[in-house]
Structure 1
Amino acid sequence: MTQLMVRLVLFDIDGTLLHTGGAGRKAFRHAFGTAFGVSNGTEGIEFAGRTDTSIVRELFLKHSVDHSNENLHRFFDTYYFWLDHILHNSEGNECPFVREFIHSLKSLPNPPTLGLLTGNVRLGAEIKLRHYGLWEEFCTGGFGDDHENRGEIAKVARSRGSEMLGHRLAGDEILVIGDTPLDVACARAISARCLAVATGHSPVTELESHSPTWAVRDLSCIEAREVCS
């Protein structure tokens, strides 16, 4: 059977595109304190690889805050303020060779559509990526406010990409790029190809143990045409 060309590339954000210096975690802590008067409310909460909405649910449960729409809006409105403020006062950077790889994707003879697959809520993702001048590179995706479960977010991203491109995308027409085993699982949830990059906290050996299509040190170690053809 002839292998299909990749038509949609979905990037994770934290650890794949950016290192924000922990801006998201810090913003969560400050926002929860500002909105609900709880100091160090995020202590003991695991953030890595989780969706923003699942973290908020755990925070509300831990501190007996009603999980109402009003309180969700109250928290996230405060979170957006703190995230923007902290990004402007934190040391962070793009992950290695991100811009070069994006340029290589866009320079292919039949360039794929670029999107996001992230546990960040959409506006949080935009704030982070705009700060580093990357938001405009992406035109679709799935986000943490689409669903608490990352596998379901992947399905949303596939659906939006399919609608944008005018046909239902097969798994082999989608490439997920991420830095954790959870990103590999996201790709598997929609039968997509997966490029795992060791630019986050997971080394190549750990990523390889989860059987992505490719596992590399960073985006300089593989060609865009290889992963898309």
Structure 2
Amino acid sequence: MIKAVLFDLDGTLINTNSAVIESFKYTFKKHLGIKIPEEEITKTFGEPLYDVMERYDKENAELMVNIYREYNEKIHDEFAKSFNGVEDALNILKSKGLKLGVVTSKRRDMAERGLNLFNISKYMDIVITPENTKMHKPKGEPALKACELLNICPEESLMVGDSQNDILCGKNAGCYTCLVKYTAVPLEHVMKYKPDYVIENMLEVVDICLNTSEKIS
């Protein structure tokens, strides 16, 4: 029985894909003087920022993170958009008595900024950010932490995200997993990680939760 839904934030609940991509491009150009293909950037979605930067310049990863964050904070609100069906789905899920949470690799201040920008923080019982765990996506600890705080078992939860790192986080924790097809990550790439469900619109999560509850309760 599904008792809680855990959501990734960027690219899942709010459309910050353009802001993220532009911030990566700016950072790589400014610090390394190189251009990175968008497909290479999108495959990092869901990972902690420091881990990504460390792969490109281990000694100066912190500097790259700072460059990224400074630029991203400037353009975030201008580039951010809503996804159709998200707030309606959250409202329905909440009315059905499900617990809701965010599990994101975005640091807390920016995660809360994004949630507040679209007035959806009111639906969330918890927000798990990198500050809350030692291990991060794609490890299962963030989802496990969310389940612990919500007082549910992992198998009673559904992890919804737009990247392989979200799917792996949910699977590694023992949660059901769900991929949004409006992901900026190449769909065939994420499908290799075999999410339990794939949806076109967030409203489909309502049906998944109700049907799963009927099936296994």
Query: Shorter-chain TM-score category?
Result: 0.7 to 0.9
Assess, with a 3 A threshold, how the Cα gap between structure 1 residues 149 and 161 changes in structure 2: closer, same or farther.
Answer: closer
- Which structure is higher in helix share? 2
CA shift in 2, pair 1:123/1:56, >3 Å: farther
C-alpha contact 2:11 2:17 (8 A) present in aligned 1? no
| 1:130-169 to 2 correspondences below 5 Å | 130-145=116-131, 146-147=133-134, 149-152=136-139, 154-162=140-148, 164-165=149-150, 167=151, 169=152
- TM-score, normalisation: structure 1: 0.71
Q: Which has the larger radius of gyration?
A: 1
The farther-off stretch of 136-145 and 98-107 is 136-145
Q: Does 1:103 align with 2:103?
A: no
Conserved 8 A contact 1:194-1:212:
yes
Closer, same or farther: CA 204–100 of 1 in aligned 2, 3 Å = farther
1:189–1:42 distance in 2 versus 1, CA, 3 Å? farther
| 2:47 is aligned with 1:89 | no
CA distance in 2, matches of 1:161, 1:107: 20
Report the CA distance between 1:114 and its aligned residue. Answer: 1.3
The alpha-carbon deviation at position 102 of structure 1 amounts to 0.4
SS at match of 1:119: coil
Deviation, structure 1 residue 10: 0.8
1:50-89 alignment, distance < 5 Å: 50-61=47-58, 64-65=59-60, 72=62, 79-89=68-78
Distance 2:65 2:25 in 1: 12
Q: Report the counterpart of residue 18 of structure 1 in structure 2.
A: 14
Q: Aligned-pair RMSD on alpha carbons?
A: 3.3
Equivalent in the alignment of 2:182: 199
CA distance in 1, matches of 2:73, 2:213: 34
Query: How many positions carry a matched residue from both structures?
Result: 207
**Cα distance, 1:209 vs structure 2:** 5.4
Superposed CA deviations along residues 45-104 of structure 1, whole A, max 9, x for unmatched, are: 63432321212323442xx42x5xxxx4x66566544323202333x4222211111011
Tell me the SS of whatever aligns to 1:226: helix
Aligned sequence identity (%):
18
**In the alignment, structure 1 residue 183 sits paired with structure 2 residue 158:** no
CA contact (8 A) 1:84 1:127 kept: no
Q: Is the counterpart of residue 112 in structure 1 residue 109 in structure 2?
A: no
Q: What residue ranges of structure 2 are gaps of 5+ in the alignment?
A: none
Q: 1:184 to 1:131 in 2, by over 3 A?
A: same
User: What are the Cα deviations for residues 149-208 of structure 1, in whole angstroms up to 9, with x where unaligned?
Assistant: 4133x323322432x34x4x3222111011233322222101111222212135777666
Question: Equivalent residue of 1:150, what SS?
Answer: coil
SS of the residue 2:78 aligns to:
coil
Residue type of the alignment partner of 1:125: A
Of residues 187, 198, 210, the one that matches 1:215 is 198
1:173 pairs, out of 148, 156, 161, with 156
CA distance in 2, matches of 1:157, 1:102: 19
Distance 1:228 1:198, change over 3 A: farther
Q: Summarize the alignment of residues 121-136 of structure 1 with structure 2, pairs less than 5 Å apart.
A: 121-136=107-122
Whether 1:38 and 2:23 are equivalent positions in the alignment is no
